Chain A
């Protein structure tokens, strides 16, 4: 029997499966391999399908790609990147 996941568990599962970790200090999910960072606020606003699509989308893998509800200022990008290491 398949257990139906609740909405937040579904999002968590999608992120776990894609290799994303959660950073407590910055409240973001990140993946060092694909260099993607999602804010909690951004993920809350998006459907599961859209999140999957964004996770799978290609990046140039050089710089971190931020998925925030608005473009983060440079000092915020630096602070988040420093926390992630």
Chain B
């Protein structure tokens, strides 16, 4: 009986579950290091200020979806399965640091940059604005799995969570909607509005 032909997705799912223990180790390590190094900033927050550290291990299907979305036409070339690997993704293990107001972002970014000096900067930019400081690299816990951390305004970060988790992720058919040009302009409008809100708020609290 002939062997059933495996798709690129089948191979990637197998790779994911081989990597999963390492992904978890990287995520745990990254979260612990980040929390430790920003503890003094957390301790000095004013009553209205917020700082939250969120850690996540990318799910198998999200990892496959991300790799697929990177291909033009969002489809794998089935004739060359060997060219695809999840180790190419920078965010199998990820930590996001949310801060409010955005004036705190620079302190956190500077601190963490000293802790992870060799990590590659990959800022989230839109229309010339930096929406989030983002870095990826490898921890001592794994030489295959890369981790990523982001430092982002809490309002922007929570908007992204709502946008992705509540709107796109439950319905796989909607996942590419964020690449539509009209949607991207609307998303850009939200980012600008949130930024304006925070800057005005910060201006007032500095006066008060």
Contact = CB atoms under 8 A, between A and B. Distances in A.
Interface in A35-61: 39-43
The range of chain A's interface size is: 20 to 34
Contact of B73 (A9, A22, A24, A80): A80
The range of chain B's interface size is: 20 to 34
Interface in A2-45: 6, 8-9, 11-12, 15, 22-28, 39-43
B193 interface: no
Contact of B72 (A8, A9, A22, A39): A39
A75 B79 contact: yes
A79 B73 contact: yes
Interface of B: 69, 71-80, 173-177, 179-182, 184-185, 188
A75 B180 contact: no
Interface of A: 6, 8-9, 11-12, 15, 22-28, 39-43, 66, 68-70, 72-77, 79-80
A75 B75 contact: yes
